[in-house]
Each structure stands twice: as C-alpha cells, then as structure tokens.
C-alpha cells in the first residue's frame, strides 16, 4: 500500500520498503529495502544515507553528502555532476550510453582507493582527477586540468592515443621532464623538459642486446629508399660501421686501437683491404688526386711517387724554386729544441712614446652601400624539423668610398696617460704588462741527422744531393731532426719528379743522364752514358733548345722537365 509522507517540507512518494533495509532522508529513517522516486531533494547541510538500493531520476544535494555502505547508487543514463569535490569508491558507468559522466565543472574527483570503470563511455573532467585504476574501454578521456593515474594500459589490441594541442606548453610530461612530448613542435625530450631537436636526450644513451646499434638512413635517399641504412655497432670487441648493402666498411679494435677499412680484423694501426686488384689509397690535395697506392696480385705500387729527405736553410739563405738542383754542404743540421723565455719589464723600457701626428693616418675604405642594391637572389630550403620551406634573400650591394681615421700598424694608445706608443723589437705586451722575449735553444742528441744544401756552379759535382721539392712545414716542432724554430724543406731523391735543366751541354734526349752544370740551380746533359757519382737523374723527354726562349731575368735558357732518380 502506498503511503504519503511530508518530511521537513519534502514531498516523497514511497513504495513499500522491504524488511531489513533502511533509508534515512533529512534525519528521518524509512524502513525497507527499495526506495524509488523521480526526484529527491535534500535540504542544505543534511545528508542522504542508504543501506539498501536507491533509484532516482534527479538527485540534488545542496551542500550535504551521499553515503552508501552496502548497496549501490544507480543513475541509469543520467548525469552525475558536482560543483565541489567528489570522492568516490567504486563507480561503475557500464550502462551509461550518453553524456560525459561524471562531469565535474570545477571540483576534483578522487578515486585514489578504488577503480573507475566506464566500459566505453567518454569521461570529461575540467578539474583534477586521481584514480587507483581506470578502465575506459574504447572511450576517450577529455581533461583540461591534471589526471593522476598509477598506470595506463590497453588490452584491446589498439594504440593508446594522446592528442595534444598545438600551442606552446601543450606537452605530455611524465615525471617533471623525465619524458616530454611537445605538442607544438613534435619534439621528444628524455631527461629534459625543453628538447631542442626531434629527439633530445640529456644523458648517456645505451643500446643493449643482440641487436644493439645506432642506425640511420642516408639523408639524400630519404624517403625514397629507407632501406639505404648505416649503423654503428660493436661485436666481439670490434666497433663497426656497417652499411645495409656494402657490409662492414670501418672497424676499430677496442684492445689495440687498430683501424680497419674493408676488414674487420686489422692487424696494424691502419689496415686497408679491397676484394680485388686496383687502387687502394688515394692521396689528394684540394680534392685533386696527386698520387695513389694500388695492388696487382702480390705487388704493391706507389703511383706518382717521389721519395724525399728533409733539410733546413742556413742563416741568410733564400728559398729555391721547385726543381732546383742542390748539393750537400757537408754540414749536419744541429738538432735543437727551442722555447720562449719571458722576463717582465717596466713599461717605459719596452715602448717608444710618439706624437699623435705620427700615430694616426687617414685611409680610404671601400664599404657596402646599403642604399644601392645591385641585385637580389632568393633561395629556398626545407626545414625537416618544422616541415616548412624557408626563403632566404641575398642582396648584392654597390660600394662607396669613405674616409676613416685609424692608428697606424704597430701603434697603440694608452687611455690613462692619453699617449701613443710603439713596442720596441724583442718586447711583447701581455694582459698584465710588458715582457722581454728571448728564444732559448738547447741541443738535443739522438735525433736524426740531415745536411744543409746549397746550389753549385761546378759541373759534374759529385756532392749532388737532389732537387728542391718544396716547403713541408713552417717549423720542425715535434719532428725528429733539425731546429724546432726553422722551416722544413723536402729534397726529392727517389722516384718520379721534375728537374730544371739548361743548354750548357747541348740538346737533351729522352733517357740521357743529368748532372750539375756551371749555372746554379740547373742540371745539364751528362756526356757519359754511364751512371756516375755525379749523376743526379735521368731525363724523361727530349729537349730541343732551339725551341726554348732565353729567360730575360737569368740571361740563359732553362726548362723544367720530368725525370727519374
């Protein structure tokens, strides 16, 4: 039988209440197991307690609470909303088919001690939400605040999609920079919250396991041929650079430090291997091949090869041109190690004070005239990080002449004394003052012995040494011979090179031996057909002096020709 009750101004239509269950509304207990009504209103500051089952259309609680100790609270397809904080036990939204439930406009939903299950229903939260476990099925989570979960997993066979905004700061951030994905530029950071590249790792990267390697594709062939791959990996103590088609190209032994090119077992500091006959090493200068080493069967050949020895110039001796014939002076170049010694001195001991008129000069300087654009050129480049094409404009300007006042070379200005000065020879200026500079040399034994060279005006000179090849370095520091401070020159003595010849002994035929002449720097045809102690080289071409002009500076004929030693 239905009964009508008025409780504290609340009109409730009651159905029979089963024995053993109670419902308390605004402090009044109703006995029974089931309580059903389309609408329930609970006054401000009071609560609704149920130990059985409660079913309602709309439930409004102004500022109280809902407590369920043994039954379940079901809202069917309706929406549960709160403008305050919501703290829940197990919330099952399995039967909800529409709406975003729960909808928490400004509060926080707490599921720290119990799981939250939607079984395919979307969940929207504009505050913060925490949960011990969350099963969304195939549903979506939409949140503009913070979501705190102990774990995220998927058992549907699909991917877990995280969609971020494209504004700065729209990041997926795990553990305060431990792992970051930036939504505005698609960069990933590991150990950094501000990645500056597509992948930015702050720390050491380890690759382990049987397939451990660092693999990358050829930039020029991407994305047309993504199988054109290179990789670095280590195998059995050998670090290898590997290509997907060629195989191992470079190998480094981690015990000996030996490097192998074309071999994985280098037996020496550098081992170069090829599968058949041919060139194995090129020697280049300014991207031009000047010589190479090749293999034919068991024979190794040095192509465009010349052997040389070191020398240095004596005091006052001038550099000689390439191919100039030289003889040994018989003097061994002393082996010494030099270093600079600096002694601090008073400023006035190291400088010369000069007048302003002698210190300053006016010069004409050509500068760009920004008001005179001669041409402009646009170039375009593709930025792989932003996937955008960028334009760069290059302008070509005219020039104009301006007058500028400047200090002369080697002149300085002292701002405190307002004086101009030059530094005396043998002194230098450092940050903390002026110093007297001296070169201190110390003879060093047990170094290699080489001799000084010079030109000769003696024909058939048996002290002939070779021909000038050129300067090798500006000093001998770190080398095994000579004065550390002096330049090093090379004298060609073996192989194929070139030599200066002159007409003092007539025309030269291919195959003639060459010797010194009475003209400094020049070789001449050797009269004898036998190789002598004065023989320097063998001519490789014919020279008809009637076709050669006289050098106006030297006053005689000469020519640079190929030769063998």
CATH number for position 540: 2.40.300
Q: Would residue 465 count as lying in a domain?
A: yes
Do residue 428 and residue 503 come from a single domain? no
**CA atoms of 80 and 62, how far apart (whole Å):** 14
Do residue 9 and residue 140 come from a single domain? yes
Q: Would residue 170 count as lying in a domain?
A: no
Q: Would residue 255 count as lying in a domain?
A: yes
**CA atoms of 505 and 527, how far apart (whole Å):** 8
Q: Would residue 181 count as lying in a domain?
A: no
Domain count, the chain: 4
Do residue 52 and residue 22 come from a single domain? yes
Do residue 384 and residue 418 come from a single domain? yes
Provide the pLDDT for residue 218: 77
Of 150, 174, 204, the domain-final residue = 150
Do residue 507 and residue 396 come from a single domain? no
Q: Would residue 128 count as lying in a domain?
A: yes
Provide the pLDDT for residue 337: 76
Provide the pLDDT for residue 239: 84
Do residue 368 and residue 465 come from a single domain? no
Of 150, 172, 189, the domain-final residue = 150
CA 404 vs. chain centroid, Å, equals: 41
Residues of the chain with pLDDT under 50: 1-22, 26-28, 30-34, 38, 71, 89-90, 93-115
Q: How many CA atoms lie within 13 A of 204 on its CB side?
A: 3
Q: Would residue 323 count as lying in a domain?
A: yes
Q: Which structure tokens are listed for 504?
A: 């003092």
> Nearest Cα to 251, choosing from 262, 240, 242?
240
Domain that holds residue 84: 3-150
**CA atoms of 103 and 128, how far apart (whole Å):** 12
Do residue 110 and residue 219 come from a single domain? no
Q: How many CA atoms lie within 13 A of 563 on its CB side?
A: 33
Is the whole model's pTM more than 0.85, yes or no? no
Do residue 417 and residue 531 come from a single domain? no
Of 273, 290, 316, the domain-final residue = 273
Q: How many CA atoms lie within 13 A of 156 on its CB side?
A: 13
**CA atoms of 349 and 297, how far apart (whole Å):** 71
Q: Would residue 541 count as lying in a domain?
A: yes
Do residue 140 and residue 26 come from a single domain? yes
**CA atoms of 230 and 98, how far apart (whole Å):** 53
Do residue 325 and residue 405 come from a single domain? no
Q: Would residue 503 count as lying in a domain?
A: yes
Do residue 380 and residue 317 come from a single domain? no
Do residue 453 and residue 559 come from a single domain? yes
Give the pairing type, strands 73-74 and 53-61: parallel
Contact 364, 342 (CB under 8 A): no
Provide the pLDDT for residue 82: 56
């Amino acid at each position: 039988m239905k009964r009508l009750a008025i409780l504290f101004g609340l009109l409730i239509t009651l159905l029979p209440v089963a024995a053993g269950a109670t419902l308390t509304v605004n402090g009044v207990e109703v006995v029974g197991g089931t309580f059903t009504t389309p609408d329930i209103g609970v006054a401000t500051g009071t609560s609704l307690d149920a130990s059985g089952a409660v079913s309602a259309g709309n439930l409004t609680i102004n500022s109280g609470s809902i407590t369920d100790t043994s039954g379940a609270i079901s809202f069917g397809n309706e929406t549960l909303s709160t403008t305050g904080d919501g703290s829940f036990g197990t919330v099952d939204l399995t039967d909800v088919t529409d709406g975003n439930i729960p909808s928490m406009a400004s509060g926080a939903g707490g599921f720290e001690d119990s799981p939250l299950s939607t079984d395919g229903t979307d969940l929207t939260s504009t505050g913060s939400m925490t949960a011990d476990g969350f099963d969304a099925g195939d549903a979506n989570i939409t949140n503009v605040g913070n979501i705190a979960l102990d774990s995220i997993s998927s058992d549907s066979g699909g991917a877990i999609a995280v969609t971020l905004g494209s504004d700065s700061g729209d990041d997926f951030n795990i553990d305060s920079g431990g792992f970051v994905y930036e939504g505005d530029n698609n960069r990933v950071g590991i150990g950094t919250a501000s990645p500056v590249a597509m992948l930015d790792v702050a720390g050491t990267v380890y690759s382990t396991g049987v397939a451990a390697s660092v693999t990358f594709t050829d930039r020029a062939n991407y994305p047309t041929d993504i199988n054109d791959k290179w990789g670095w990996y280590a195998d059995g103590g050998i670090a290898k650079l590997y290509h997907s088609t060629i195989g191992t190209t470079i190998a480094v032994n981690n015990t000996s430090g030996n490097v192998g090119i074309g071999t994985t077992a280098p037996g020496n500091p550098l081992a170069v291997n090829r599968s058949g006959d041919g060139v194995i090493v090129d020697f280049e200068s300014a991207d031009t091949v000047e010589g190479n080493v090749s293999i034919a069967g068991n024979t190794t050949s040095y192509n465009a090869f010349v052997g040389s020895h070191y020398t240095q110039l004596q005091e006052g001796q001038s550099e000689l041109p390439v191919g100039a014939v030289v003889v040994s002076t018989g003097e061994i170049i002393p082996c010494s190690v030099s270093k600079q010694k600096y002694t601090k001195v008073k400023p006035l001991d190291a400088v010369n004070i000069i007048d302003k008129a002698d210190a300053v000069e006016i010069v004409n300087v050509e500068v760009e005239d920004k008001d005179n654009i001669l041409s402009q050129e646009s170039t375009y480049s593709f930025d792989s990080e932003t996937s955008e094409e960028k334009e760069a404009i290059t302008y070509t300007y005219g020039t104009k002449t301006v007058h500028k006042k400047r200090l002369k070379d080697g002149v300085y200005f002292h701002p405190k004394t307002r004086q101009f000065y030059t530094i005396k020879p043998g002194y230098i200026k450092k940050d903390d003052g002026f110093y007297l500079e001296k070169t201190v040399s110390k003879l060093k034994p047990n170094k290699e012995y080489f001799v000084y060279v010079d030109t000769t005006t003696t024909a058939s000179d048996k002290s002939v040494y070779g021909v000038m090849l050129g300067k090798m370095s500006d000093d001998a520091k770190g080398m095994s011979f000579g004065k550390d401070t002096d330049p090093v020159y090379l004298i060609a003595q073996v192989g194929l090179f070139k030599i200066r010849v002159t007409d003092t002994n007539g025309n030269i035929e291919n195959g003639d031996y060459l010797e010194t002449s009475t003209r400094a720097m020049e070789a001449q045809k050797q009269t004898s057909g036998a190789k002598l102690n004065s023989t320097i080289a063998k001519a490789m071409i014919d020279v008809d002096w009637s076709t050669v002009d006289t050098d106006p500076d030297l006053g005689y004929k000469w020519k640079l020709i190929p030769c063998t030693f």
